[in-house]
Chains A and B, each alone.
Chain A
Amino acid sequence: MNKLKQAASSIGLTGTIVIVFALALIVVPLVVDLGNYILTILISLLVFVTLSESWNLMGGYAGQVNLGLAAYFGTGALCYMLVYRAGAPLPVAMVAGGLGATVVACIIGPPTLRLRGAYFGIGTMAVAEVLRLISTTTFTQTIYSPASYWITFTLTKSYYIALAVAIGTIVVAYLVVHSRLGLVLQAIRDDEDAANASGINPARYKMIVFIISSFLAGVAGGVLSYHRGNINVPGQFTMDWTIGAIVAATIGGWGTLTGPVLGSMIFVLLREILGRTVPTGYLIVTGVVFVLVITFLPDGLTSSGAMIRSALGWGGRSSEATLPE
């Protein structure tokens, strides 16, 4: 018991909350039958958590706004499906999806990450549009999973895959942020000149985290394709995925690990509550919430109060970036 207390105190309050939360997500569906509707929403939530955490690594920690996340998500979904259809086992197909997304990152990353300013944002947006146009003209029909998939598929299995990937993503993000790489990234974000003068090559570190980020986004694409059992290729490349990830990460709070999780919950809740009745209305409301949060809480909801911040311990790390000079 004493040892348990010691372990708990070394993890800290936030860590304990996160672990309890993760355990609840693991155990509850085993004990209680949540029903297909709730499970589907949870899967969608977990995909968004993965996506927005991966965006946040690049946007929140490295300060590089990726406006074309859909490209990595879509490429991941497509590569997963093609490899899975070719007969590869599921984990291999998922990794293949992530690697496919990484290849796209290697095309646009090196030229734009050398530069500062808006080049990365514009470049990623252009790549996303090129891939969307190519995929729309190449894959006009929905691609279905192979027959073996339909025998083994259950919603619970799909849920646990999404959960494993989401937890894995958060663990990866935690490790990155608490390593030398994470420190370097935050130094680059806060003052690239100073980082450069300290002997850091900013482009190299930005590229490393871009590869990690796009790999995770690609795996998220694979998770969603597995869940749906088919992919309508143009739909995977639409701007909606980028919008969802940016909204979730920004509402929750850039440069925090809990922010994207909180933001994803709000985004998915808004979508489920409003989206059923007024399909475009929910996006307008989301947009208004988004602008209000940026205007009044530039660090996101995780910074919404000193109490919450101190309780969570992680909040407001990006505060230096948005404070006036």
Chain B
Amino acid sequence: MAQLPQILAYGIILGVFYGLVTIGLSLLFGVMKYLNIAHGSFMMLGAYASYWLFMLWDIDPILSIPLVMALMFLVGCLLYKLLFSRLSKVSEDVRINSSMIMAFGLILILDNSAIALWTTNIKILNTSYTSTMLEFMGIRIPLTGLIVIGLTSLAILALHLFLGRTYLGKSIRATSQDWEAASLLGTNIDRIYLVSCGISLALAGLAGACFALTYPISPDIGLRWVLFAMVVLVLAGMGKIKEVFLAGLIMAMLEQLSSVVIGAEYRGIVSLAVFILILIFKPQGLFEK
């Protein structure tokens, strides 16, 4: 048990990361009632973009983040224009199912294109600071983990200010509460959806860039991580933004603790089993009163 603080430190980094992967998914669900299960695959795309920008043009992965996010924002707008806008007129239940199925097709295309282009071999982005460890009261913390936490905090702050202070942000919140009322009051719903889709994928791009900083990249990370993102989404309550990070932390801590108590190979099983139990007893999410 001596390594417990060490494990909890890793748990915090993992938890923040879970939150970061989930937040774009949650935003899109909150505003549009689309469950984009291809979110993880877009994160994979962002991770590869970050990787290739570093390998080909030697751009530091932290400096390339704005570029990756801008690129993914455009991909998001394109995605909305080409595919998702077709679902925006149907009722809510149908929207969830149709977006899941459409995203399913996107997963097929994106994941297999990644395999075809970059093979299934694991890619590791190696910067000068990748394996730097900081020591703090006997706990070793990877520098990249701290960078991820810092970047995520920045992103959350920016998103919070954007949704709270700007006109566009307020319209997005109004649309997520009641799109019909917002539409009657003169909000251009189509534009709100377009921007939300772009922001959601830009956040997926940020998650991808952070992923490339900390973990090895392979084409199957999308499907693996989106499941955890959806679990966090349900734990936080569907479409909630602020609760996402708390739910992510709980999930990560559970995983880290079970890897100590039961064994590393069972950590995924334990956290998902707990998720299923929560689904049985408290399906509205952990924070619903």
Residues from chain A with Cβ under 8 Å of B83 in the complex: 291, 295
Establish whether residues A137 and B272, one from each chain, have CB atoms under 8 Å apart when the complex forms. no
Closest to A282 in B: B112
Determine how close the nearest CB of chain B comes to the CB of A135; give it in whole angstroms: 11
User: Is B287 in contact with chain A by the CB < 8 A criterion?
Assistant: no
Contact A283 B276 (CB under 8 A): no
Binds A, one of B58-66, B122-130, B185-193, B227-235: B227-235
Q: Find out whether the CB atom of B276 lies under 8 angstroms from the CB atom of A192.
A: no
Contacts A133-B269, A287-B108, A291-B83 known; A118 to B100 CB distance under 8 Å? yes
Number of interface residues of B (CB under 8 A): 45
Instruction: Write the nearest CB–CB distance from A92 to chain B, whole angstroms.
Output: 30
Q: Answer yes or no: A16 CB below 8 A from chain B CBs.
A: no
Are B279 and A123 closer than 8 Å at their CB atoms? yes
Closest chain A residue to B35, Cβ basis: A118
Are A130 and B108 in touch, CB under 8 angstroms?
A: no
The answer, yes or no, to whether B97 is at the interface (CB within 8 Å) is yes
Asked if A137 and B265 sit within 8 Å, CB to CB, the answer is yes
Contact (A126, B276) CB under 8 Å given A65-B100, A67-B37, A284-B116: yes
**Contact across chains for B94 and A126 when beta carbons are under 8 A apart:** no
- A130 pairs with B276, CB closer than 8 A: yes
Of A106-114, A204-212, A229-237, the segment with at least 4 beta carbons within 8 Å of chain B is A106-114
Nearest chain B CB to A199 CB, angstrom units: 20
Taking CB atoms, residues of chain A closer than 8 Å to B94 are: 321-322
**Neighbouring B residues of A107 by C-beta, 8 Å:** 276
Question: Which of B84-92, B151-159, B202-210 binds A?
Answer: B84-92
Q: Which residues of B contact A298 (CB under 8 A)?
A: 98
Q: Do A111 and B108 touch across chains, with their CB atoms under 8 A apart?
A: no
Contact of B97 among A65, A122, A127 (CB under 8 A): A65
A268 in contact (CB, < 8 A): no
Alpha-carbon distance between A324 and B98 when the two chains are bound, in angstroms:
12
**A295 contact set on B, CB distance < 8 A:** 83, 86
Subset of 27 A-B contacts with CB under 8 Å: A65-B101, A67-B100, A108-B276, A108-B279, A111-B283, A112-B279, A117-B92, A118-B29, A118-B35, A121-B96, A122-B231, A126-B279, A129-B268, A130-B268, A130-B269, A130-B272, A137-B266, A250-B101, A278-B116, A284-B108, A284-B109, A284-B113, A284-B116, A287-B105, A295-B83, A323-B90, A325-B90
Which residues of chain B are near A65, meaning CB under 8 Å? 97, 100-101
Bitwise interface map of B from 231 to 247 toward A, beta carbon under 8 Å scored 1, else 0: 10110001000000000
Interface of A is mostly: helix
B94: nearest chain-A partner, CB-CB: A321
Please tell me if the beta carbons of A115 and B283 are within 8 angstroms of each other in the complex: yes
Query: Smallest CB-CB separation from A239: which chain B residue?
Result: B223
A65 to B93, alpha carbons, bound, how many Å?
11
Instruction: Please judge, given known A-B contacts A243-B104, A287-B109, whether A118 and B272 are in contact too, CB under 8 Å.
Output: no
Distance of B47 from chain A, by nearest CB (Å): 19
CA distance A127 to B269 in the complex (A): 10
Query: Which residue from chain A places its CB closest to the CB of B82 in the assembled complex?
Result: A295
B264 to chain A minimum Cβ distance, whole angstroms, is: 11
Interface size of A as a range: 35 or more
Q: Report how far A281 CA is from B117 CA in the complex, Å.
A: 11
B275 touches A126 (CB 8 A): yes
Chain B residues whose CB sits within 8 angstroms of the CB of A129 once the complex forms: 227, 268, 272
* Residue numbers in A under 8 Å from B112 (CB-CB): 280-281, 283-284, 287
B106 interfacial contact with A, CB 8 Å:
yes
Name A's B-contacting residues (CB within 8 A).
59, 63, 65, 67, 107-108, 110-112, 114-119, 121-123, 125-127, 129-130, 133-134, 137, 192, 239, 243, 246-247, 250, 278, 280-281, 283-284, 286-288, 290-291, 294-295, 298, 321-325
Q: Beyond the given A111-B283, A119-B283, A126-B230, could you list 19 further A-B residue pairs with CB under 8 A, ordered by the A residue number?
A: A63-B93, A111-B279, A117-B93, A118-B100, A118-B230, A121-B35, A121-B100, A122-B230, A126-B279, A130-B273, A243-B104, A247-B105, A280-B116, A281-B112, A284-B112, A286-B108, A290-B108, A294-B98, A324-B89
Which residues of chain A are within 8 angstroms of B4 by Cβ–Cβ distance? none
Q: Are B93 and A134 in contact (CB under 8 A)?
A: no
Q: Which residues of chain A are near B8, meaning CB under 8 Å? A: none
B100 near A294: Cβ-Cβ < 8 Å: no
**What is the CB-to-nearest-CB distance from A106 to chain B, in angstroms, rounded to a whole number?**
12
The answer to whether A119 and B105 have CB atoms under 8 Å apart is no
Residues of chain B within 8 A of A118, CB atoms compared: 29, 35, 96, 100, 230, 238
CB-nearest residue of chain A to B281: A111
* A291 and B105 contact, CB distance less than 8 A: yes
Q: Give chain B residues whose Cβ lies under 8 Å from the Cβ of A288.
A: 109
Report yes or no: B275 in contact with A280, Cβ–Cβ below 8 A.
Answer: no
